[in-house]
């Protein structure tokens, strides 16, 4: 017999909470009804307007109208507000739809218990089941709502902007409306000469920078860690402390100080060169030397992080492996190649991938050291040392090219996600999780 489960499910489809009342779960049914009432109260006056706003992004602009001898401003539609409101209302609709589906499932399951001759739990027992047996889900519910409205919503908004013509000077609300243009922003970015030359140039430098910044910091950290942990070296705690100081100092302070140190006119480095009769170098004003300077500065900031990670790995390597290698006549170089380096790579491969992804978006070093400069005339709103993320920043906050910056943001995400997933799946840390157990 499936009479109770089907009846309860159908009643819950007709009216949320009705199936619970049919199953004699009075308080739970009333709560579900109140939730549906709240959802209908919010959604009925808003859902139609939200869908219209998302589809059209507005139909009228603000304008001045003469009323007698006076001039009055008549407000129009604001495309961006309509888009945001539409996204919020749709997300709220999704939340209430999930609750509605849960109500049907709950009514069906409790109706099934009645068909099997089992007792349907009362409200106290249901509450205890949720808070005890499903405690992780219960506790994660509020954070999930926060992620939905404070993380997913901005991401959806940014993605949608990439498919509009939202940019200065011709499409800035409320004076002008924004329109859906499909993939035109991506086509312009990849094919229009003024944009594509900048995009491909900045993309190439971004990849070169990410590789250099990651490799130098990673292997520099390994070298420093091996030197500090070498047998016979004295004052190990002092050396560790000295090398950790660059990491302990706030990055903002370090970068601003280093920017002054490398200043071509009054920086201490060029003054030392002049003291010995040598010409100073254009550390931050020449495209080539600016890139060299950025790599050096990033090494100063990044090597301590890799050093700490590698030191932790070195302490975890079993000593008997080295003793066995020495018995077999292996040299120090062979021990490093066969024992030390494989352990370091296995333990730090995920972090290495994360560092590479982080360097693609390494905004602080570029912005605080060079600001993306020196200028490059053939680039569109970008300088010689701009990464994709700093170019995106300039397009958004300086030049109001919101559609292009949103398109660049999507391409950055695709690139980082693709590289990270591919690298993680190929690493031994992912394939052989039990290797060190």
Tell me, what's the pLDDT at 413? Answer: 93
Q: Kindly list the domain boundaries of the chain, sorted by start residue.
A: 3-182, 186-431
Tell me, what's the pLDDT at 129? Answer: 82
- C-alpha 355/C-alpha 375 separation (Å) is 28
* Dihedral pair phi/psi, residue 422, rounded to 5°: -60, -45
Tell me, what's the pLDDT at 434? Answer: 44
- C-alpha 199/C-alpha 396 separation (Å) is 15
Tell me, what's the pLDDT at 6? Answer: 92
Tell me, what's the pLDDT at 65? Answer: 62
Tell me, what's the pLDDT at 74? Answer: 66
Nearest to 241 by CA among 228, 252, 253, 232: 228
pLDDT tens across 326-344, in order? 888 888 889 889 999 989 9
Q: What mean pLDDT, rounded, does the chain reach?
A: 90
Tokens of 166: 């939202």
Tell me, what's the pLDDT at 64? Answer: 59
Pick among 1.10.645.10, 1.10.3720.10, 3.30.1370.60, 3.30.420.40: CATH of 186-431: 1.10.3720.10
Tell me, what's the pLDDT at 57? Answer: 94
Q: What is the pLDDT along the chain (437 residues), one digit of tens a residue?
A: 678 899 999 999 999 999 999 999 999 999 999 999 999 999 999 999 999 999 999 998 877 566 666 666 668 899 999 999 999 999 999 999 999 999 999 999 999 999 888 889 888 888 888 888 778 887 888 899 899 999 999 999 999 999 999 998 888 888 889 999 999 999 999 999 989 999 999 999 999 999 999 999 999 999 999 999 888 888 888 988 898 898 889 999 999 999 999 998 889 999 999 888 888 899 999 999 999 999 999 999 999 999 999 998 988 888 898 889 888 888 888 988 999 998 998 888 888 899 999 999 999 999 999 999 999 989 999 999 999 999 999 999 999 999 999 999 999 999 999 988 888 887 766 666 544 44
The string over 384-395, giving b where at least 16 C-beta atoms fall within 10 Å of a residue's C-beta and e elsewhere, is bbbbbbbbbbbb
The verdict on pTM exceeding 0.75 is yes
Contact 167, 404 (CB under 8 A): yes
Q: Is the dihedral of CA 285, 290, 293, 298 positive or negative?
A: positive
- C-alpha 150/C-alpha 155 separation (Å) is 9
């Amino acid at each position: 017999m499936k009479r109770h489960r089907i009846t309860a499910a159908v009643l819950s489809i007709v009216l949320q909470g009705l199936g619970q009342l049919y199953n004699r779960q009075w308080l739970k049914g009333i709560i579900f009804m109140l939730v549906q009432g709240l959802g209908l109260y919010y959604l009925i006056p808003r859902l139609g307007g939200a869908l219209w706003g998302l589809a059209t992004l507005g139909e009228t602009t603000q304008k001045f109208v003469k009323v007698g001898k006076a001039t009055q401003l008549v407000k129009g539609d604001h495309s961006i507000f309509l888009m945001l409101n539409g996204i919020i209302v749709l997300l709220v609709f999704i939340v209430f739809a999930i609750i509605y589906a849960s109500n049907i499932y709950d009514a069906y399951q409790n109706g099934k218990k009645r068909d099997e001759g089992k007792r349907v739990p009362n409200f106290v027992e249901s509450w205890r089941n949720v808070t005890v047996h499903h405690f992780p889900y219960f506790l994660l519910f509020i954070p999930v709502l926060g992620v939905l409205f404070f993380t997913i919503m901005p991401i959806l908004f940014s993605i949608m902007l990439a498919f509009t013509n939202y940019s200065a000077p011709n499409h800035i609300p409320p004076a002008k409306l924004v329109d859906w243009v499909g993939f035109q922003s991506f086509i312009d970015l990849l094919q229009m000469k003024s944009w594509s030359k900048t995009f491909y140039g900045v993309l190439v430098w971004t990849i070169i920078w990410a590789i250099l910044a990651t490799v130098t910091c990673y292997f520099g950290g390994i070298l420093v860690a091996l030197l500090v942990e070498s047998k016979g070296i004295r004052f190990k705690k002092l050396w560790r402390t000295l090398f950790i100081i660059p990491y302990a100092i706030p990055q903002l302070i370090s970068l601003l100080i280093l920017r002054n140190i490398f200043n071509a006119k009054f920086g201490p480095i060029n003054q030392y060169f002049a003291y010995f009769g040598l010409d100073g170098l254009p550390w931050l004003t020449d495209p080539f030397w600016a890139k060299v300077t950025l790599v050096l500065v990033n090494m100063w900031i990044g090597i301590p992080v890799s050093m700490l990670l590698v030191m932790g790995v070195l302490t975890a390597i079993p000593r008997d492996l080295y003793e066995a290698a020495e018995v077999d006549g292996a040299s120090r170089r062979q021990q490093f190649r066969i024992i030390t380096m494989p352990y370091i790579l296995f333990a730090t491969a995920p972090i290495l991938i994360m560092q590479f992804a982080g360097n693609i978006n390494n905004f602080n070093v570029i912005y605080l050291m060079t600001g993306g400069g020196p200028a490059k005339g053939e680039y569109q709103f970008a300088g010689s040392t701009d990464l994709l993320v700093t170019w995106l920043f300039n397009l958004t906050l300086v030049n109001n090219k919101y559609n292009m910056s949103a398109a660049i943001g999507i391409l950055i995400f695709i690139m980082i996600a693709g590289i990270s997933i591919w690298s993680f799946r190929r690493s031994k840390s992912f394939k052989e999780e039990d290797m060190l157990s």
